[in-house]
Chains A and B, each alone.
Chain A
């Protein structure tokens, strides 16, 4: 019997461990992700106790501030917390913290409600009834999600604003029909949550629709044969089946709505995000407390997700074999009426914005809708697009959109960020999905999976703030590198989820049969795994790409306004060049739709496959 020393034994075991490529990948990716995510998040927390240069409401000298602890270079204090929660003027707490917090929570909750009801009903109609035009409707139903989330907010503003109620120039309805909607309709909580809800209803549709589609119709038929009333079947059988989809939609929409900046910004609702932005310059430390608050919500949602996913397993039998889904008859009139209603709604949310943005770029002055009354083409202009006269004072020396280096530079920047983040996030996500599927029992694999998943439920602004502080300390501010890192971290979950779902569908034996024949790992990946699952893997790359293309909130703190196109919206709005921001929106939507259709047609990958329900 040979005796082996403990050291050799340990070395051999480690050798065997690292001979498996997925263990190496998990270790490297896990450590890298943990360091980036944790240090970025702790950077915000640290920022709340940091004394910021030139803190305007800092009455005492710098020396007195180091009440908490100090290092040789900086000092730390609880002053920011004290200033926020026990301000010198009593009203400030309400204005700076309590109202924004309440608004954020209400906004997120109502957005969830709208998304679930609208998307859920639509999912049911498309999958389980004989409503006509289902294919076409479901294609345009997810448009609002593909488009930038502020699209509808801007459309809403341009449609309903009026000089009397909201100030500024008249919107379309006010100037053409003299229709003046009340203030609560034009801005604030109601339109914000409606707009965000419509934007995210695609999630509800994709998640709930996936379950409806896979659900074994026998489950409902069994109840029907037992003579159960239809409403009871729906309440007791159908609804519990889609519960997991409701949970995942709620979690995702809640965190996304909470972290949204542009929608409340355009519709003038004071939330944690807008308040953060307005306090960021003068009261950076206090603003970071708002970011920490958002982060806490993210963590709470994460915990909630853990709790619900453990229950979700019990529903895995749902994907039954019965292909015969009996469609519910809506009646010969009813089915057309319902289709008509959804047609109008989806046209308004999906097609109208494109037309409206295009139209706005031809208005001679913002809010000058005289063309609609006169029908005279002279009331329109192409100067915003084509002028090359940089001395025109109404354009502030900006050349026309077609020749504007700022705009096209921004488009280029946005594309660089989107491609970079998509390539990295997609690849890392693919590796994580693959390795976790290979190592389902390992605690470390689950930890890495959760670490990668964490940013998914973090409000975008909080992630932006974290990387702003983190990146600035590394001297990366205003670099594409920082934008790409941030985009990567935030959107890895999309890719890793898509990859994990597809890897779990792939029987282990497919790879083992190659392993036994001595085919090396890279060759198994390139020749077997990736070709088989290429559609969902491409979706894993496409989702981060699409999302980064139209991302504003996440990047707005990380670079100068002209670096990427989404940030230039505010840049031109501030100059009063509304035609330019409309054009930017139009350009963005067109790029996104073209990319989406191209990828879809070429590879069969699509957004809904990537989210994977």
Chain B
């Protein structure tokens, strides 16, 4: 059954690495989203699995069939991979009616009888509710209807794997929400494996059973959505997932075991209690060793014939600490990451700040709190509002506060801060 396996897949144009040494395994019946900022290589990855793009090197397996292997020269054309592909701009054939668009691919399958084709057409058009439009041309349909036709056309040949390239990005906000829930139903109803490309993290969070987060061609983290949110492995993941964004606070640390002293927010002292005891020095040297091993592996790779140096390295993620005057906060050894909902306003909070801005939506209120020159974001649930420049006391709730190594960006520990 179609579990999809990518091993060491690389795609480069000259020295530009679109996808850099990506290994990924997608379970049967999963709903995986490829997530990342634009240009991170997610669409390229999808197109390589579908066979529309040829990888520079690596191996791709769909089910138990190797569809691409640079070492043995295997390259199965896209039509033989038995996949469906839903394109961003729908790619409906404008010269054919809705009905012809759906049936065209089916007629090509010699094993299907006329009656079977009719039955498929009826079935898929009822799933996406487009029966009234079968005689129309794509240009006579609204964006949402075109989208449904594209889905119907993709579903008609009953592919085991369905690829979708930002299928909702051309729809308006309301329709997008509606289609999102329909896609979720579709996944369950068809039982197919879905691979879905998006740059919208909410879409990824809400739809996927697993998210593959990419940046600059490199795999950052491959995990369930909530794990990605709660336990990001590095600063990039922490920053990319979640809206409003996570708070980053520069800090310096001392101590070991389960009591670590953090100096942060312009000289304030707080105690960080890691969920599992932590040896700071050991953690740091482990990170350094890791970096060294990676450099050695890279050096090894560079000896292989045909190696091209990666040119697009300087666009690696750099975290940013928001400040009032727009200047950068001087870098420190560690970065503390706190989700906005963990910045809790309370009478007995250990810290004080001033309300910089307050944006109530009715369901919750997003606050920006100013501490000296630094800004923190907090989400307060319920219908509350704050006066600007009002003084508030606040603290950090829960055991989900994250501690990162600033240099490498790697997560060191999760714990409480108080």
Contact = CB atoms under 8 A, between A and B. Distances in A.
A and B co-occur in one complex: yes
Interface of A: 2, 4, 8-13, 15-16, 19, 441, 507, 509-510, 512-520, 523, 527-528, 531-532
A16 B108 contact: no
A489 to B, nearest CB: 32
A348 B83 CA distance: 63
Given A513-B91, A532-B93, A9 B52 contact: no
14 contacts: A9-B72, A13-B73, A16-B54, A513-B87, A513-B91, A516-B84, A517-B105, A518-B79, A518-B80, A518-B105, A519-B105, A520-B108, A528-B95, A532-B94
Contacts of B83: 516
Nearest to B159: A516
A515 B52 contact: yes
A525 to B, nearest CB: 13
B61 to A, nearest CB: 14
A512 B109 CA distance: 17
Given A531-B95, A532-B93, A532-B94, A516 B85 contact: yes
A103 B94 CA distance: 53
B72 A12 contact: yes
Given A4-B72, A12-B73, A531-B95, 11 more contacts: A9-B73, A12-B75, A16-B54, A16-B75, A509-B89, A513-B153, A516-B79, A517-B79, A518-B108, A519-B104, A520-B108
A164 B13 CA distance: 72
B74 interface: yes
B137 to A, nearest CB: 12
A177 B155 CA distance: 80
Nearest to B71: A4
Contacts of B104: 514, 517, 519, 527
A509 B92 CA distance: 9
B157 interface: yes
Interface string B9-24: 0000100000000000
Contact of A16 (B73, B78, B88): B73
Given A9-B73, A441-B13, A509-B89, A516 B78 contact: yes
B85 A512 contact: yes
B72 A517 contact: no
Contacts of B89: 507, 509
Contact of A513 (B54, B77, B85): B85
Of A2, A16, A515, A518, most B-chain CB atoms within 10 Å: A518
A440 to B, nearest CB: 12
A2 B93 contact: no
B84 A4 contact: no
Contacts of A527: 96, 104
Contacts of B152: none
B157 A517 contact: yes
Interface in B48-99: 50-52, 54, 71-75, 77-81, 83-85, 87-89, 91, 93-96
A527 B75 CA distance: 26
A507 B52 contact: no
B299 to A, nearest CB: 24
A519 B108 contact: yes
A518 B75 CA distance: 15
Contacts of A13: 73
B166 to A, nearest CB: 12
Most A-side CB within 10 Å, residue of B80, B84, B89, B91: B91
Contact of A507 (B75, B91, B157): B91
B95 A12 contact: no
Given A512-B87, A519-B104, A19 B73 contact: no
B91 A512 contact: yes
B52 A528 contact: no
A517 B95 contact: no
A28 B157 CA distance: 35
B72 A2 contact: yes
B73 A4 contact: yes
Contacts of B105: 514, 517-519
Of listed A15, A510, A532, residue having the most chain B CB within 10 A:
A510
Given A12-B72, A523-B108, A515 B87 contact: no
Contacts of A523: 108
A344 B230 CA distance: 79
A16 B94 CA distance: 30
A531 B94 CA distance: 9
Nearest to B50: A516
A478 to B, nearest CB: 44
A321 B91 CA distance: 21
B87 A517 contact: no
Contacts of A532: 93-95
B338 to A, nearest CB: 42
A509 B73 contact: no
A-B interface, 3 closest residue pairs, ranked by CB to CB distance from nearest: A12-B73, A517-B105, A518-B79
Contacts of A513: 85, 87, 91, 93, 153
A15 B80 CA distance: 15
Q: Which of B50, B74, B83 is most buried by chain A, counting CB atoms within 10 A of its CB?
A: B74
Nearest to A517: B105
A8 B80 CA distance: 21
Interface string B162-180: 0000000000000000000
Residue of A11, A13, A19, A516 with highest tally of chain B CB at under 10 A: A516
Nearest to B73: A12
Interface in B302-344: none
B157 A510 contact: no
B102 to A, nearest CB: 10
Nearest to A20: B77
A528 to B, nearest CB: 5
A521 to B, nearest CB: 10
B45 to A, nearest CB: 16
A336 to B, nearest CB: 39
A507 B165 CA distance: 14
Contacts of B87: 509, 512-513
B108 A510 contact: no
Contacts of B79: 515-519
A4 B71 CA distance: 8
Nearest to B94: A532
Contacts of B95: 528, 531-532
Contacts of B94: 532
A8 B71 CA distance: 11
A531 B91 CA distance: 15
Nearest to A533: B95
A518 B106 CA distance: 9
Contacts of A519: 79, 104-105, 108
Nearest to A12: B73
B107 to A, nearest CB: 9
A363 B24 CA distance: 87
Contact of B91 (A11, A16, A441, A510): A510
A8 B105 CA distance: 33
Interface string B159-201: 0000000000000000000000000000000000000000000
A577 to B, nearest CB: 52
B14 to A, nearest CB: 10
B72 A528 contact: no
A407 B73 CA distance: 62
Interface-central residue, A507, A513, A523, by most chain B CB under 10 Å: A513
Nearest to B52: A512
Nearest to B79: A518
Most B Cβ at <10 Å: residue of A8, A11, A16, A520: A16
A380 to B, nearest CB: 54
B78 A512 contact: yes
Contacts of A441: 13
A444 to B, nearest CB: 16
B78 A510 contact: no
B77 to A, nearest CB: 6
Contacts of B88: 509
Interface string B33-53: 000000000000000001110
A520 B104 CA distance: 12
Contacts of B91: 507, 509-510, 512-513
